[in-house]
């Protein structure tokens, strides 16, 4: 979304203050859409299993790399590759839950944190081992002439990313709140023991939620890779922003993750433009610190603090 | 019958003498290895303290706080800044690093005391560490940004010039042994037992009339001070303090050292530091191999040796278990 910046500078010289703000909002929201998707994918796993996937950034990267492999080496069309990569990541999620999380289920949370970090390291190390330290251009599918609305410029990237994330989120929330599967998921979220009593297989549920989480992470990776280029460290920057979005919206809240992601994207642009461009990198950290100190529950979350 | 006798061979009393003897045995290392290997040995000594400090919070106190690189970086920059701009003698700079590290530890404990625990604590401390790194990067006038702050050429520790790896080794060994011994005593005292008790059950501990907040603060401050000292050693070891040395990947390596060695064990901290400082040296030439190796070894440890490599020693004799440690 580097394109937005240049346009902003041009507009600045002509002095359209409102247009600058709108342009910043637009690019902030489209970045925020990606953060929202990542935060939501983290939340899905967290709500189901109470595990925060600290290696999620690398799973996001792995999803994008699978698309790259399928398009470049296997010569498959882009859309088919994306669907296949998302399926691969879903299956990987099942495997991670079954093979790596279940065996240490009885241990302390420190083990889960380290397990997810290590699995991420294996993926990142694997990608670096196979492809070296280079940066890969991902084939672009969103090539489109920018749309002009008055002084506002909407680039193809911004347009498609926002559109696709909006569709994905609508589908997700529709499934979650309006279908039978969604109601079962909500039931397990509320009470695992209760769900077990009415015959829900909670173990299989945990596995499939890992699958869904990683698949959604892969979607974010596939959307971001054509814009940010593909490299093994792709995910690391997005992980901390996913955390910031979750914290801002309220840990464990699904709609909070989306709102938090959008707000974070917006805040990054505003801080970066109006205060200092070096602040853009640490907006996420500042938000985490501020939220956890002032209101640990975030915007929509329940109380998380422990009192003894 | 024979088996019982074999177990009696290793007793806590005898092991104590072994532990005392090990640092004396280590004194011969500089005379039998070359500069490069000695540099790695020095790094092991630094990372022993890093792991030891981290282990107090993760293993003994049982809190998921990742502020370790923040303490490490704060210690390193404190020592470097005081030596470069204040012309302070190294021994005083180490002392100041410990104090400033302890203050940073206190700040981290405030988050835990406010009731921010588990993943929230992990995330807020990660953010703290990254913010500190941003400060090193953008505090150009003092920290020299991404070029790194070069420490003075001539450094003396009580009159001993630290111009090569050999004198550094003796100084580092002295510091490490001192800190390990004090920490070991501290962890066996009332304080250490209260800290482990908080890990096991905070509410029960409080109900026994133990002021939990006090011991949580103590654990964080002690951890910060130890890692601060390690930072001051690290500054002299690398001779140039760079912001990259205190990033996210570093804190994960520290975490790995704690887990590989064994959570909540001082012997484990030493084993973890040795393992993860030496082994990656072999994989340096292949990109990605070190990460791959790190990931795989920790997955294997978590699956098959959840108490860390130190639990292999426990199988030989229970005398290796630290007394305050219970499964």
Q: Residue A195 and residue A93: Cα distance in Å, rounded?
A: 22
Coil, strand, or helix at residue A236?
Answer: helix
Is B38 or B317 the better-scoring residue by pLDDT?
Answer: B38
pLDDT of A77 reads 87
* Option in A110, A125, A306 nearest B295 (CB): A125
* Option in B115, B123, B263 nearest A307 (CB): B115
Which of the residues A238, A245, A288, A295 would you substitute to probe the B interface, choosing the one with the greatest number of B C-beta atoms within 10 Å?
A: A288
CB contact under 8 A, A104 and B111: no
Binning pLDDT at 50, 70 and 90, where does residue A11 land? very low
Instruction: Determine whether A255 is exposed, middle or buried from the number of CB atoms within 10 Å of its CB (0-12, 13-18, 19+).
Output: middle
pLDDT of A105 reads 85
The distance of A291 to chain B (nearest Cα, Å) reads 9
Instruction: Determine whether A171 is exposed, middle or buried from the number of CB atoms within 10 Å of its CB (0-12, 13-18, 19+).
Output: exposed
Binning pLDDT at 50, 70 and 90, where does residue B7 land? low
Residue B193: inside a domain, yes or no? yes
Mean pLDDT of B68-96: 91
Which of the residues B196, B295, B303, B305 would you substitute to probe the A interface, choosing the one with the greatest number of A C-beta atoms within 10 Å?
A: B295
Tokens matching residue B240: 């140039």
Taking residue B156's Cβ as centre, other Cβ atoms within 10 Å add up to: 13
Partners of B196 on chain A (C-beta within 8 Å) are: none
pLDDT of A233 reads 83
Residue B10: inside a domain, yes or no? yes
Residue A16 has pLDDT above 60, yes or no: yes
Which residue, among B240, B276, B237, B242, has the nearest Cα to B258 in the 3D structure?
B276
Mean pLDDT of B183-200: 89
Residue B78: inside a domain, yes or no? yes
pLDDT of A296 reads 76
Contacts of A58 (CB under 8 A, 6+ apart): A119, A120, A121, A123, A124, A235, A236
Q: Output the CA–CA distances (angstroms, integers) from residue B196 to A37, B67, B108, B207, in the order listed.
A: 39, 20, 19, 15
The distance of B72 to chain A (nearest Cα, Å) reads 19
Of A139-148, A236-245, B81-90, the one with minimum mean pLDDT is A139-148
Window 264-303 of B, Cβ < 8 Å to A? 286-296, 298-299, 302-303
Q: Residue A182 and residue A177: Cα distance in Å, rounded?
A: 6
Which residue, among B102, B127, B66, B59, has the nearest Cα to B231 in the 3D structure?
B102
* Option in B124, B134, B289 nearest A288 (CB): B124
Partners of A251 on chain B (C-beta within 8 Å) are: 119-120
Binning pLDDT at 50, 70 and 90, where does residue B178 land? very high
Domain count, chain B: 1
pLDDT of A90 reads 95
Mean pLDDT of A20-35: 87
ipTM of predicted assembly, 2 dp: 0.85
End-to-end CA distance of chain A: 47
HEC per residue, chain B: CHHHHHHHHCCHHHHHHHHHHHHHHHCCHHHHCCHHHHHHHHHHHHHHHHHHHHHHHHHHCCCCCCCHHHHHHHHHHHHHHHHHHCCCCHHHHHHHHHHHHHHHHHHHHHHHHCCCCHHHHHHHHHHHHHHHHHHHHHCHHHHCHHHCEECCCCCEECCEECCCHHHHHHHHHHHHHHHHHHHHHHHHCHHHHHHHHHHHCHHHHHHCCCCHHHHHHHHHHHHHHHHHHHHHHHHHHHCEECHHHHCHHHHHHHHHHHHHHCCCCHHHHHHHHHHHHHHHHHHCCCCCHHHHHHHHHHHHHHHHCCCCCHHHHHHHCHHHCCCCCCC
- Average pLDDT value over all residues in chain A: 84
Q: Residue B77 and residue B228: Cα distance in Å, rounded?
A: 9
The distance of B128 to chain A (nearest Cα, Å) reads 7
State how far Cα A162 lies from the chain centre.
13
Contact at 8 Å (CB) between B15 and B184? no
> Which residue of chain A has the CA closest to B58?
A110
Enumerate the domain spans of chain A.
Answer: 3-294
pLDDT of A1 reads 41
Residue B2 has pLDDT above 50, yes or no: no
Residue B106: inside a domain, yes or no? yes
Partners of A123 on chain B (C-beta within 8 Å) are: 295
Residue B68: inside a domain, yes or no? yes
Which residue, among A107, A108, A106, A104, has the nearest Cα to A96 in the 3D structure?
A104
Packing angle between helix B118-138 and helix A283-294, nearest 10 degrees?
140
Instruction: Determine whether A136 is exposed, middle or buried from the number of CB atoms within 10 Å of its CB (0-12, 13-18, 19+).
Output: middle
Instruction: Determine whether A109 is exposed, middle or buried from the number of CB atoms within 10 Å of its CB (0-12, 13-18, 19+).
Output: middle
End-to-end CA distance of chain B: 27
CB contact under 8 A, B255 and A114: yes
Residue A92 has pLDDT above 90, yes or no: yes
Which of the residues B204, B292, B293, B307 would you substitute to probe the A interface, choosing the one with the greatest number of A C-beta atoms within 10 Å?
A: B292
pLDDT of A15 reads 58
Dihedrals φ, ψ of B150, to 5°? Answer: -85, 130
Residue with the two structure tokens 């041009």: A10
Mean pLDDT of B261-277: 90
Q: Residue B184 and residue B56: Cα distance in Å, rounded?
A: 11
Binning pLDDT at 50, 70 and 90, where does residue B75 land? very high
Contact with chain A for residue B58, Cβ under 8 A: yes
Of A217-221, B111-115, B201-205, the one with minimum mean pLDDT is B111-115
Residue B326: inside a domain, yes or no? no
* Option in A129, A130, A243 nearest B123 (CB): A243
Percent of chain B with pLDDT over 90: 34
Give the helix/strand (H/E) hosting A155.
none
Residue A134 has pLDDT above 90, yes or no: no
Which residues form the domain of B147? 2-320
Partners of B248 on chain A (C-beta within 8 Å) are: 236, 240
Partners of A105 on chain B (C-beta within 8 Å) are: none
CB contact under 8 A, B295 and A110: no
CA triple B139-B143-B149, angle to 5 deg:
160
pTM value is 0.87
pLDDT of A94 reads 94
pLDDT of B48 reads 94
Q: Residue A54 and residue B106: Cα distance in Å, rounded?
A: 25
Residue B9 has pLDDT above 80, yes or no: no
Percent of chain A with pLDDT over 90: 23
* Option in A236, A281, A284 nearest B248 (CB): A236
Coil, strand, or helix at residue A230?
Answer: strand
Contact with chain A for residue B202, Cβ under 8 A: yes
| CATH of residue B271 | 1.10.3470
pLDDT of B324 reads 55
* Option in B117, B256, B291 nearest A124 (CB): B291
Contact with chain A for residue B211, Cβ under 8 A: no
The distance of A96 to chain B (nearest Cα, Å) reads 11
The distance of B223 to chain A (nearest Cα, Å) reads 18
Query: B162-177, pLDDT tens digit by residue?
Result: 888 888 899 999 999 9
Percent of chain A with pLDDT over 70: 91
Partners of B111 on chain A (C-beta within 8 Å) are: 292-293
Q: Residue B272 and residue B275: Cα distance in Å, rounded?
A: 5
Contacts of A275 (CB under 8 A, 6+ apart): none
The distance of B227 to chain A (nearest Cα, Å) reads 20
B181-199 exposure pattern, b = at least 16 Cβ within 10 A, e = fewer: eebbebbeeeebbbbbbbb
Residue A195 has pLDDT above 90, yes or no: no
Residue A139 has pLDDT above 80, yes or no: no
Mean pLDDT of A112-117: 90
pLDDT of B6 reads 52
Window 88-117 of B, Cβ < 8 Å to A? 111, 114-117
Instruction: Determine whether A142 is exposed, middle or buried from the number of CB atoms within 10 Å of its CB (0-12, 13-18, 19+).
Output: middle
Mean pLDDT of B248-252: 86
Contact at 8 Å (CB) between A127 and A65? yes
Partners of B66 on chain A (C-beta within 8 Å) are: none
DSSP A137: P
**In CATH, what number does A3-294 get?**
1.10.3470
Mean pLDDT of B39-53: 93
Partners of B303 on chain A (C-beta within 8 Å) are: 100, 103-104
Maximum C-alpha span of chain B: 71
- Average pLDDT value over all residues in chain B: 86
Give the helix/strand (H/E) hosting A104.
none
């Amino acid at each position: 979304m580097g394109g937005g910046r240049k346009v902003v500078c041009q507009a600045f010289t002509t002095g359209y203050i409102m247009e600058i703000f709108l342009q910043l909002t637009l690019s902030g929201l489209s970045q925020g859409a990606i953060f929202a998707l990542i935060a939501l994918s983290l939340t899905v796993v967290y709500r189901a299993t109470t595990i925060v996937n600290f290696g999620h950034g690398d799973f996001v990267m792995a999803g994008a790399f699978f698309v790259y492999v399928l398009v470049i080496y296997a010569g498959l069309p882009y859309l088919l590759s994306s669907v296949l990569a998302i399926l691969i990541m879903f299956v990987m999620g099942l495997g991670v839950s079954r093979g790596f999380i279940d065996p240490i289920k009885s241990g302390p949370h420190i083990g889960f944190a380290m397990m997810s970090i290590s699995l991420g390291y294996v993926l990142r190390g694997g990608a670096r081992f196979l492809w070296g330290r280079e940066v890969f251009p991902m084939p672009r599918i969103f090539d489109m002439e920018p749309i002009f609305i008055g002084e506002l410029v909407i680039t193809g990237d911004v347009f498609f990313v926002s559109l696709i994330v909006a569709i994905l989120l609508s589908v997700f929330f529709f499934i979650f709140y309006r279908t039978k599967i969604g109601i079962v998921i909500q039931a397990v979220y509320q009470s695992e023991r209760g769900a077990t009593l009415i015959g829900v297989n909670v173990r299989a549920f945990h596995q499939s939620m890992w699958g869904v989480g990683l698949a959604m992470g892969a979607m974010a990776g596939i959307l971001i890779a054509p814009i940010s280029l593909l490299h093994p460290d792709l995910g690391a920057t997005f992980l901390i922003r996913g955390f910031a979005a979750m914290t801002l919206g309220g840990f464990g809240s699904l709609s909070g993750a989306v709102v938090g992601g959008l707000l974070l994207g917006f805040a990054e642009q505003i801080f970066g433009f109006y205060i200092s461009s070096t602040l853009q990198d640490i907006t996420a950290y500042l938000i985490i610190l501020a939220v956890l100190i002032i209101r640990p529950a975030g915007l929509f979350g329940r109380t998380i603090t422990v009192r003894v | 019958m024979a088996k019982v006798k074999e177990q009696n061979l290793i007793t806590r009393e005898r092991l104590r003498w072994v532990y005392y003897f090990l640092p004396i045995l280590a004194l011969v290392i500089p005379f039998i290895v070359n500069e490069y290997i000695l540099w790695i040995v020095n790094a092991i000594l630094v990372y022993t303290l890093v792991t030891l400090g981290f282990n107090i919070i993760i293993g003994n106190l049982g809190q998921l706080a990742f502020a370790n690189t923040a303490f490490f970086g704060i210690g390193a920059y404190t020592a470097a800044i005081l030596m470069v701009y204040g012309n302070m003698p190294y021994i005083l700079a180490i002392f100041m690093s410990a104090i400033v590290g302890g203050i940073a530890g206190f700040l981290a404990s405030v988050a835990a005391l406010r009731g921010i625990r588990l993943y929230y604590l992990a995330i807020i401390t990660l953010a703290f560490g990254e913010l500190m790194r941003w400060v090193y990067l953008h505090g150009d006038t003092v920290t020299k940004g991404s070029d790194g702050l070069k420490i003075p050429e001539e450094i003396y520790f009580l009159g001993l010039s630290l111009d090569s790896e050999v004198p550094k080794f003796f100084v580092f060994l002295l510091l490490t042994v001192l800190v390990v011994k004090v920490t070991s005593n501290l962890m066996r005292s009332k304080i250490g037992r209260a800290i482990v008790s908080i890990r096991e059950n905070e509410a029960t501990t409080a109900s026994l009339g133990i002021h939990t907040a006090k011991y949580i603060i103590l654990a964080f401050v002690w951890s910060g001070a130890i890692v601060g000292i390690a930072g001051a050693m690290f500054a002299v070891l690398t001779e140039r303090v760079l912001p990259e040395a205190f990033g996210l990947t570093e804190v994960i390596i520290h975490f790995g050292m704690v887990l590989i060695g064994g959570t909540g064990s001082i012997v484990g901290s030493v084993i973890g530091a040795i393992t993860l400082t030496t082994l990656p040296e072999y994989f340096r030439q292949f990109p990605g191999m070190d990460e791959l190796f790190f990931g795989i070894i920790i997955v294997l440890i978590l699956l098959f040796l959840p108490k860390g490599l130190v639990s292999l020693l426990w199988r030989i004799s229970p005398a290796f278990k630290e007394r305050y440690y219970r499964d």
